Amino acid sequence: MKLSLHPEAEADMAEAITFYDQRTPGLGSDSLDEVLGAFERIEHAPEAWPRLEGPVRRCLVERFPYGVYYRREPEEIFVLAVMHGKKKPGAWRGRI
């Protein structure tokens, strides 16, 4: 199943990469790899992660405190946000 991203989800990812690269060069790339790994897990088994509200589910990213918030639609999986677990709780709700 195809996975697509909300434009703000792409911005979330870019922000995280920049943040981690500023802390340690190369760490941003590591965080991106982990997010892409979460995308692969979601594509493989989109129903595996718990629902938060309505159709929205969250898959936690390994090694980094981020969650991928998404919903399964008839033709695709739509990623609403890639957000830090504590930085902006609930901010993904405005993207539904």
Write the pLDDT tens digit of every residue in 29-59.
999 999 999 999 999 999 999 999 999 999 9
Q: How confident is the model at residue 96 (pLDDT cuts 50, 70, 90)?
A: confident
Residue 93 forms part of a structural domain: no
Question: Is 20 inside a domain boundary?
Answer: yes
Residue 6 lies in a domain: yes
Count of the separate structural domains present in the chain: 1
pLDDT, average across residues 65-70: 96
User: Considering the chain, what is the average pLDDT of its residues?
Assistant: 93
Contact yes or no for 67/56 (Cβ under 8 A): no
Residue 91 lies in a domain: no
Amino acid at 75: E
Q: Give me the pLDDT at residue 94, please.
A: 77
Q: What integer pLDDT is reported at residue 57 of this predicted model?
A: 96
